[in-house]
């Protein structure tokens, strides 16, 4: 193994650790700020630590892709879920259950299978200006629909919307990078066009972060698994539809992708059912009940007075 591959592995593991710590921090903030608004979060330093960890994880992920191939970096990035489980359990002062480990393993295997059959696009390929606007509009509609159903599905709708937003932000970032490097097909964009797409990147990135914060109100493991699945899935759909990416193996590749998706879905279902629940404690009334709290006994009706003959 050469030095570039070793550096890519180290950066990928560091990126996964950063994402995991950020997810645990967001989950704890979500449970402590269940009824609060986004303004309450902005006033808490823990929120900005989570934002910084997410940004650091993203930068290390990009750096890992510079030194290693996609087939090596992406599966290692999926270890975010495996790292987040013990960290979250540590802060909750409990042990990771077997069901959680099995669910994480199924999700990781499915996600790795999906990444393995998706081939990368030709270097330099990126969305054009018209394609960027079309993807942004369609994705915004999809995000609105999935986020609206998030509250009734344990946060999984918000998690799906967050993953889609992050995947779209990655695709649009590739367009901005190609335009700045003057490698965009069809020639570089004008400065105002590049600025507009960069604003879309910021909008989707921030939206994905806020949606993931809302998703973590339903727990940590299952929403994080859905985010990790929806992100590369959205990027793969964009790549296959617009960037010339393809599934390896022809029909067998499509079957492999379908099987991997089923495996990942089983893992998410296992993680959903493995959420720790709080047992209700029965309240036993004290035998020494104060006089003011005792239930008065019903008064007996007075006997009718006898009438003299």
Render pLDDT for 227-261 as a digit per residue (tens, 0 to 9): 988 888 888 788 878 877 666 767 787 888 889 88
pLDDT digits (tens, 9 = 90+) for 260-298: 889 988 888 888 766 554 333 334 344 444 444 444 444
Task: With cut-offs at 50, 70 and 90, classify the pLDDT of residue 306.
Answer: very low
* Cα–Cα distance, 183 to 156 (Å, whole number): 38
**pLDDT above 50: residue 109:** yes
**pLDDT above 90: residue 52:** yes
Q: Where are the beta strands (DSSP E) in 90-248?
A: none
Amino acid 258: pLDDT:
86
**pLDDT above 70: residue 301:** no
Amino acid 18: pLDDT:
92
Asked if residues 25 and 53 have their Cβ atoms less than 8 Å apart, the reply is yes
Amino acid 123: pLDDT:
47
The average pLDDT across 207-233 equals 87
* Cα–Cα distance, 166 to 179 (Å, whole number): 20
**Nearest-CA neighbor of 202 among 161, 239, 168, 235?**
168
Amino acid 35: pLDDT:
60
The average pLDDT across 149-174 equals 82
Amino acid 152: pLDDT:
52
* Cα–Cα distance, 96 to 81 (Å, whole number): 12
Q: Which of 54-68, 116-130, 197-211, 242-256 bottoms out in mean pLDDT, i.e. has the lowest?
A: 116-130
* Cα–Cα distance, 208 to 183 (Å, whole number): 28
Amino acid 102: pLDDT:
92
Amino acid 106: pLDDT:
92
The H-or-E segment that residue 201 falls in is: helix 191-215
* Cα–Cα distance, 302 to 85 (Å, whole number): 69
Higher pLDDT pick, 135 / 79: 135
Contacts of residue 274, defined as CB under 8 A and 6 or more positions apart, other chains included, come to 97, 99, 100, 103, 221, 222
pLDDT digits (tens, 9 = 90+) for 62-71: 788 778 766 6
Task: With cut-offs at 50, 70 and 90, classify the pLDDT of residue 154.
Answer: low
Amino acid 298: pLDDT:
47
Q: Residue 192 CB: number of other CB atoms within 10 A?
A: 7
Amino acid 182: pLDDT:
78
Q: Residue 6 CB: number of other CB atoms within 10 A?
A: 12
Q: Residue 241 CB: number of other CB atoms within 10 A?
A: 11
């Amino acid at each position: 193994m050469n030095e570039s591959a070793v550096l890519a592995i180290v950066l990928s593991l560091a990126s996964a650790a950063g994402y995991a710590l950020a997810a645990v921090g967001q989950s704890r903030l979500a449970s402590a700020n269940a009824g609060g608004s986004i303004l309450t979060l902005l006033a808490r330093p823990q929120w900005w630590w989570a934002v910084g960890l997410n940004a650091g994880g993203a930068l290390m992920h990009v750096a890992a892709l510079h030194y290693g191939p996609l087939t090596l970096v992406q599966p290692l990035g999926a270890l975010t879920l495996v790292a987040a489980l013990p960290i979250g359990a540590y802060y909750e002062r409990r042990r990771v259950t077997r069901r959680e480990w099995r669910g994480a393993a199924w999700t990781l295997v499915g996600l790795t299978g999906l990444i393995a059959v998706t081939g990368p696009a030709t270097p330099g390929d990126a969305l054009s200006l018209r394609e960027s606007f079309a993807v942004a509009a369609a994705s915004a509609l999809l995000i609105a629909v999935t986020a609206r159903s998030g509250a009734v599905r344990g946060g999984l709708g918000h998690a799906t919307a967050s993953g889609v937003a992050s995947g779209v932000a990655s695709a649009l970032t590739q367009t901005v990078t190609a335009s700045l490097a003057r490698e965009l097909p069809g020639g570089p964009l004008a400065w105002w066009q590049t600025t507009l797409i960069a604003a879309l990147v910021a909008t989707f990135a921030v939206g994905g972060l806020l949606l993931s914060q809302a998703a973590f109100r339903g727990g940590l493991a299952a929403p994080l698994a859905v985010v990790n699945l929806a992100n590369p899935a959205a990027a793969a759909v964009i790549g296959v539809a617009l960037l010339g990416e393809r599934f390896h193996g022809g029909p067998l590749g499509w079957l492999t992708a379908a099987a991997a998706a089923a495996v990942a879905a089983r893992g998410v279902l296992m993680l959903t059912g493995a959420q720790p629940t709080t047992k209700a404690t029965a309240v036993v009334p004290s035998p020494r009940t104060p006089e003011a709290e005792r239930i008065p006994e019903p008064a007996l009706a007075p006997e009718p007075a006898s009438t003299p003959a």
